[in-house]
Amino acid sequence: MKNIGYYSNQDYSWLYPRDKHAIISVLTFRQQDLPAQDEYLIEAQAEYSVKWLKQKSDIFQTEIARKIEMLNAQFHPRGKNKVMECLQFGGNHEFWQDFPDEQEIEAYFYHCYDFAVDYIGFLKSDKNIICALTVTEPNRRNLFVYYLPITDKWKVKAIGNDKSENGNKLQLRDSEGNPIYRTKRFISKPLLCHSEFWKQRGKEMSYSVLQECFYQSISKRYGAKRGESTSLLKYTTPEQAERFKRYKDDEYDIFKNPKGIWV
């Protein structure tokens, strides 16, 4: 069969050969963004081919409240808090064209979902996953896995006995004057927090770590190539830096806005 790609009328891809790339990205949402996501899913079901891997039964706001209560999660709502996230899986035309049929593509997305559960799932379960669905449009196809960034581990300030002029206990510091933190673990009362969630998954390298893990676990088995490395080295895994012969102060290792998803 002819698989969906980016050349809708006539396939000129042979003139411009490209590597096969499987894509994984992270979308983040604040409270005010949730209604738009509800609307998108309604429109997607009306206009495109949708298959649910895990279906939601209510609007995102209600589903989030239900998950927080079920997991007894701590959440400190502020206007800019990223309360929900989504792993988006996709690929370019070259990646999809080698799949023999829709059943194989469906199986691939199930592998991606299993990867998501293992990587972002609370205690490697689907308890914090709200829903997951594939959306097939005329020129692209994606798997969306919506979840809450809930972690059972996070950093807290290490407090000493010294006090400030106001009588407040001060945070401990090391011999070089850097603030000291300790790791807290609370499985029965985890924390819903975007930044702490990703600090447990690579800190500043979290996005590069995610992409590297996905590449090693899933996409390279399907013949995909790892995308070019153009981020600051501080945000890049050693494997990716070595793959593209990166070095300190190269053309991409210059100051720019951080791309890490944990900040």
pLDDT tens profile 10-58: 555 455 567 889 999 999 999 999 999 999 999 999 999 999 999 999 9
d(CA 210, CA 141): 21
Q: Containing H/E element for 109?
A: helix 102-120
Give the pLDDT score at 245: 58
| pLDDT value, residue 9 | 46
How many structural domains does the chain have?
A: 2
Residue-wise pLDDT for 144-160, tens only, equals 999 999 999 988 888 88
Residues 182 and 69 in one domain: no
Q: What is the pLDDT of residue 234?
A: 57
User: Do 73 and 134 lie in a common domain?
Assistant: yes
Whole-number average pLDDT of the chain? 85
My answer on whether 216 and 94 are in the same domain is yes
Consecutive H or E run containing 156: strand 153-157
Q: Give the span between the Cα atoms of 239 and 23, in whole angstroms.
A: 18
113 in the same domain as 98: yes
Residues 6+ apart with CB under 8 A from 216: none
DSSP at 36: H
Q: Specify the pTM.
A: 0.82
Question: Can you give the pLDDT at residue 127?
Answer: 98
Q: Are 237 and 207 in contact (CB under 8 A)?
A: no
CA distance 207 to 202: 8
CB-based burial, 168-182: b 16+ in 10 Å, e otherwise: eeeebeeeeeeeeee
For residue 5, name the pLDDT band (cuts at 50, 70, 90): very low
Percent of the chain at pLDDT above 90?
Answer: 57
DSSP E strand stretches across 76-147: 82-91, 129-137, 140-147
3-class state of residue 157 by DSSP: strand
Residues 114 and 38 both lie in one domain: yes
Q: Are residues 98 and 124 in the same domain?
A: yes
Whether residue 7 is contained in a domain is answered as no
The residue ranking higher by pLDDT, 236 or 247, is 236
94 with 170, same domain: the answer is no
How far apart (Å, rounded) are the C-alpha atoms in residues 15 and 11? 9
For residue 242, is pLDDT > 80?
no
Assign 253 a pLDDT band (cuts: 50, 70, 90).
low
Confidence of residue 263 (pLDDT cuts 50, 70, 90): very low
**Among 25-34, 137-146, 182-191, which is the least confidently predicted range?**
182-191
Residue with tokens 């999660």: 73
Read off the pLDDT band of 3 (50, 70, 90).
very low
pLDDT band per the 50, 70, 90 thresholds, residue 256: low
Tell me the per-residue pLDDT of 155-183, one tens digit each, with 9 for 90 and over.
Answer: 888 888 888 888 888 888 888 888 888 88
Statement to judge: residues 102 and 210 lie in one domain: yes
